[in-house]
């Protein structure tokens, strides 16, 4: 079975927010990603709105042809936006203001009481709910018990590990994927994946979806740098010659 690629365009918005300009627009990046073969688009609307803005989510819901996956914490305001915009998938993630990125999985076991009603509300609106968790048996079982359709296994520790530690993290992701699948959950994976480390994750048979952002945006900056400089050179030359 083919693994779906959902491209996360958050860091296109990071670049835009750095200057408060209208460009680069994550909506335009989403068009390009889908034209290049992405199966869907993922965005994380953080409570502090440091990159993706509510406007982005609203416009993407209109423009994305494949699946729109909205990552968010279970804060009241983001849940309200999800219920207004109705993306096909919502991925619930933990969120701490001071973190640079999503640093760990959701503690579904510890937060059953607060997550349960949020999951129920989203599902009642026809949204498929995915929970971003570590490949831990108790977290997987709690995700199933709370009615999630999918878990997204956090690959950050795998991505950061080297040598034997990486093999250990990979084995635990493979075990987690098998366990989740056996319980009837759809299995996604993501965080910190690059062209260098994605292979072994894509090889886990139960993994049917990958959410990848930072490495793609980073690569796009480098790959596009020379053409961007050439375009500026041409604009300067046109100005100089008065044409």
- Catalytic positions, please? 44, 71, 191
Does residue 44 touch ligand PXP according to CB under 6 A? yes
Among 60, 68, 70, 91, binds ligand PXP (CB under 6 A): 91
Does residue 90 touch ligand PXP according to CB under 6 A? no
Helix (H, G, I), strand (E, B), or coil: what is residue 207? strand
Tell the smallest beta-carbon distance from residue 236 to ligand PXP (Å).
34
Tell the smallest beta-carbon distance from residue 159 to ligand PXP (Å).
8
Alpha-carbon distance of 84 to 102, in angstroms, equals 24
The closest alpha carbon to 193, from 60, 101, 98, 131, belongs to: 101
Helix (H, G, I), strand (E, B), or coil: what is residue 220? helix
Quickly tell me which residue has 């056996």 as its tokens.
Answer: 182
CB nearer ligand PXP, residue 174 or residue 192? 192
Does residue 201 touch ligand PXP according to CB under 6 A? no
Q: Per-residue contact track with ligand PXP, 153 to 192, x per CB under 6 A?
A: -------------------------------------xxx
Rg (CA), the chain: 19
Q: Which stretch binds ligand PXP (CB under 6 A): 15-23, 77-85, 200-208, 212-220?
A: 212-220
Among 71, 157, 169, 209, binds ligand PXP (CB under 6 A): 71
Residue 125 has phi, psi (to 5 degrees) of: -90, 5
Quickly tell me which residue has 């090889």 as its tokens.
Answer: 203
Q: Are strands 67-72 and 186-190 parallel, antiparallel or unpaired?
A: unpaired
């Amino acid at each position: 079975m083919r693994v779906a690629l959902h491209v996360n365009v958050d860091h296109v918005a990071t670049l835009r927010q750095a200057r408060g300009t209208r460009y680069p627009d994550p909506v335009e990046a989403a068009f390009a990603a889908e034209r290049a073969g992405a199966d869907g688009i993922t965005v994380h609307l953080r409570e502090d709105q440091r990159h993706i803005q509510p406007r982005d989510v609203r416009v993407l819901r209109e423009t994305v042809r494949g699946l729109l996956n909205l990552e968010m914490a279970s804060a009241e305001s983001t849940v309200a936006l999800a219920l207004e915009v109705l993306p096909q998938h919502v991925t619930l993630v933990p969120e701490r203001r001071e973190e640079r990125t999503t640093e760990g999985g959701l503690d579904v076991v510890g937060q059953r009481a607060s997550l349960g009603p949020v999951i129920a509300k989203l599902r009642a609106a026809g949204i498929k709910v995915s929970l971003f968790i570590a490949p831990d048996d108790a977290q997987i079982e709690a995700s199933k018990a709370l009615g999630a359709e999918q878990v997204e296994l956090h690959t950050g520790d795998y991505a950061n590990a080297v040598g034997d530690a990486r093999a250990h993290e990979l084995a635990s992701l493979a075990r987690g994927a098998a366990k989740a699948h056996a319980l009837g959950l759809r299995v996604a994976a993501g965080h910190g994946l690059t062209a260098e480390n994605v292979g072994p994750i894509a090889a886990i048979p139960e993994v049917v979806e990958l959410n990848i952002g930072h490495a793609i945006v980073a690569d796009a900056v480098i790959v596009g740098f020379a053409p961007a400089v050439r375009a500026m050179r041409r604009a300067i030359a046109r100005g100089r010659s008065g044409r």
